[in-house]
C-alpha cells in the first residue's frame, strides 16, 4: 500500500459563483485542509489584506516569480495575473495536509496535468446567468466594467466543466456545501490516500 498523500483540491467556477464562500467554510471546518494563498497583480479589495486572501504584488514582481520558476501554475484572468507558488503546494503535501486551490480554468488544467493523481477537480456552477449577475453586483466589490468582463468570461469558463471530475450547482448554499463535503470525505477514502498496515 502506498504512503498516505494529501490531495490537491482544485475549486474552479465563474467569478461570483460562491467559490470563496464555500472554500472559507471548508478550511474553517477542516484542520487538515490548507487554503493556498495565491499571488496576484490585482489591486486588493477593501476587505482584503496582503498575505491573507492573496499575496499582492506588482507586475514586475510577478514576472520575476515566473522567471525564477516559482509558480506551479499561473494565468492571466480577467485582465490580472494570478499564480500558485510551488512552495505552497510542497509545504502542504510534505506536512501531509490537503491543500485547496481556488483557480481559474487555465490554472485548473495546469494542475491537473502536473498532478493527475493528487488533484481532485471540482467545478462550481451558478444556477443561471442572472443569478451570477445578481451575486457579482450584490458582493459590491467590483465596478460595473469589471462585472461585465467577468460575466462575459463566465460563458467561456463554463465550457470547461467536462474537464472536471465533479460539478456542483451552487443554488442553495447549504446543499452545495453538503455535496462539497461529501466529495472531500469520499476522496479521502481512495486507496492511494490511505495508510494501512495489516
Ligand atoms: P467567488 O469566490 O466565486 O467569486 P463569492 O464566494 O465571493 O464568489 O460569492 C459571491 C457572492 O455571492 C457573495 O456575496 C456571497 O455571499 C454570495 N453567495 C455565495 N453563495 C451563494 C448562494 N448559494 N446563494 C446566494 N448567494 C450566494
Ligand atoms: P478574484 O479577483 O475574484 O479574487 O479572482 C478572479 C479569478 O481568479 C477567479 O476565477 C479565481 O479562481 C482566479 N484565481 C485566483 N487565484 C488564482 C491562481 O492562483 N491561479 C489562477 N490560475 N487563477 C486564480
- CATH for 42: 3.40.50.300
Tell me the C-alpha distance between 94 and 156, whole Å.
35
Tell me the C-alpha distance between 18 and 33, whole Å.
18
Beta-bridge partner residues of 125:
169
CB of 14 sitting under 6 A from ligand 1: no
Give pLDDT, residue 93.
83
CB of 36 sitting under 6 A from ligand 2: no
Give pLDDT, residue 4.
61
Give pLDDT, residue 32.
95
Residue 25 within a domain? yes
Quote the domain boundaries for residue 37: 8-193
Give the chain's domain count: 1
Q: Whose CA is nearest to atom 3 of ligand 2?
A: 15
Residue-averaged pLDDT of the chain: 95
Tell me the C-alpha distance between 14 and 128, whole Å.
11
Tell me the C-alpha distance between 40 and 49, whole Å.
12
Concatenated DSSP letters for 57-120? --HHHHHHHHHTT-EEEEEEETTEEEEEEHHHHHHHHHTT-EEEEE--HHHHHHHHHH-TTTEE
Give pLDDT, residue 1.
57
Is 84 assigned a ligand-binding role in the annotation? no
Q: How confident is the model at residue 22 (pLDDT cuts 50, 70, 90)?
A: very high
Residue 3 within a domain? no
CB of 135 sitting under 6 A from ligand 1: yes
Residue 70 within a domain? yes
CB of 19 sitting under 6 A from ligand 1: yes
Residue 2 within a domain? no
Cell of 195: 495508510
Q: How confident is the model at residue 126 (pLDDT cuts 50, 70, 90)?
A: very high
Q: pLDDT digits over 66-85, tens only? A: 999 999 999 999 999 999 99
CA of 191 to the centre of ligand 1 (A): 34
Choose which residue among 18, 146, 179 to substitute to test ligand 1 binding: the one with the highest number of ligand atoms within 8 A of its C-beta. Answer: 18
Residue 198 within a domain? no
Residue 172 within a domain? yes
Amino acid at each position: 500500500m502506498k504512503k498516505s498523500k494529501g490531495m490537491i483540491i482544485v475549486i474552479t467556477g465563474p467569478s461570483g459563483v460562491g467559490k470563496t464562500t464555500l472554500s472559507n467554510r471548508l478550511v474553517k471546518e477542516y484542520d487538515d485542509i490548507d487554503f493556498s494563498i495565491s499571488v496576484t497583480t490585482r489591486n486588493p479589495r477593501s476587505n482584503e489584506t496582503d498575505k491573507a486572501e492573496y499575496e499582492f504584488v506588482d507586475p514586475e514582481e510577478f514576472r520575476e516569480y515566473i522567471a525564477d520558476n516559482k509558480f506551479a501554475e499561473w494565468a492571466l484572468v480577467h485582465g490580472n495575473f494570478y499564480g500558485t507558488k510551488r512552495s505552497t503546494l510542497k509545504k502542504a503535501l510534505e506536512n501531509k495536509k490537503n491543500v485547496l486551490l481556488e483557480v481559474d480554468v487555465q490554472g485548473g488544467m495546469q494542475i491537473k496535468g502536473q498532478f493527475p493523481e493528487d488533484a481532485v477537480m471540482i467545478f462550481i456552477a451558478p444556477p443561471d446567468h442572472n443569478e451570477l449577475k445578481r451575486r457579482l453586483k450584490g458582493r459590491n466589490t467590483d465596478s460595473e466594467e469589471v462585472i461585465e468582463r467577468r460575466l462575459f468570461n463566465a460563458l467561456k469558463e463554463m465550457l470547461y466543466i467536462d474537464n472536471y471530475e465533479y460539478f456542483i450547482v451552487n443554488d442553495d448554499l447549504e446543499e452545495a456545501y453538503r455535496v462539497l463535503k461529501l466529495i472531500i470525505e469520499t476522496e479521502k477514502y481512495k486507496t492511494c490516500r490511505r495508510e494501512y498496515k495489516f
